[in-house]
Amino acid sequence: MSFGRVVILLGAPGAGKGTQAKLLAESSGYLHVSTGDLLREAVRQGSELGKRCKAIMEAGELVPDELVSQLVEEKNSSGRADSGMILDGYPRNLAQAEFLSRVLNGVRPKTIRIRVDEDQVVKRLSGRRTCSGCGRIYNVFFSPSAKGEAECEACGGKLLQRKDDREEVIRERMHVYRQQTAPMIGYYSSRGDFFEVDGNRSVSEVAAEIDRLAA
């Protein structure tokens, strides 16, 4: 498996990783790999993996590393990461970061941390709606669909609220982030090619900066 540019988007729940990863994938042609999306798809399909992950995800905990590693390897073996790959929500702890470094086999990723104030997070997550058809992400407060709260303006698909976007689960996800994912900031910043962007600005301002950094 060969890799072009590898970009890791790192940030707390609701920082805008998914939103920005989709935009960067469109502008760059890089493969977007979201472990959250892959796991939610497995849950929707009712696969063995999905059955093992459903309750863990709904509680806001991390899925076991070996299951996530298996997913990432399967995605990589599709061979579409030649020009580049954007990792969104992965790696999530130091064990996953070490695994990734073995998979990348000498390719050094660019890591972009999206920083966002905690008071923004609850509003962003509680207002998030995702299209069940095309995956487009909306927000009832900041970026609603022109077709109302229930319908995607792009494809007409139904807009859904994630089960882990309830307030008590959001709190647990933030706790897990602080304990397990935030240490990756030190891990990657000490390795170079590490950048931070202010994610409190508009989607387009953040996207412009990420485009420039990822180039």
- Return the active site residues: 17, 92, 128, 162, 173
The residues pairing with 33 across neighbouring beta strands, listed in sequence order, are 87
Pairwise CA distance, residues 205 & 193, whole Å: 21
Residue 10: CB minimum distance to ligand AP5, A: 10
The residue of the chain with the least Cβ separation from ligand AP5 equals 36
Strand 110-115 to 31-34 pairing: unpaired
Site string for ligand AP5, 37-76 (x = CB under 6 A): --x----------------xx--xxxx----x--------
Strand 128-131 to 137-139 pairing: antiparallel
User: Six-digit token pair at 143?
Assistant: 């970026």
| Interface with ligand AP5, residue 112, by CB under 6 A | no
Q: Which listed residue (11, 109, 135, 157) binds ligand AP5 by CB under 6 A?
A: 11
Q: Which listed residue (76, 143, 161, 189) binds ligand AP5 by CB under 6 A?
A: 143
Cβ neighbours of 213 (radius 10 Å): 16
The residues pairing with 139 across neighbouring beta strands, listed in sequence order, are 128, 143
Q: Crossing angle, helix 65-76 and helix 48-58, to 10 degrees?
A: 130
Contact 82, 3 (CB under 8 A): yes
Return the number of the residue (3 or 90) whose C-beta is nearest ligand AP5. Answer: 90
Return the number of the residue (3 or 125) whose C-beta is nearest ligand AP5. Answer: 125
Residue 93: CB minimum distance to ligand AP5, A: 7
Cβ neighbours of 118 (radius 10 Å): 9
Report the interface residues with ligand AP5, using CB under 6 A. Answer: 11, 13-19, 35-36, 39, 56-57, 60-63, 68, 89-90, 92, 96, 124-125, 127-128, 137-139, 142-143, 164, 173, 199, 202-203, 206
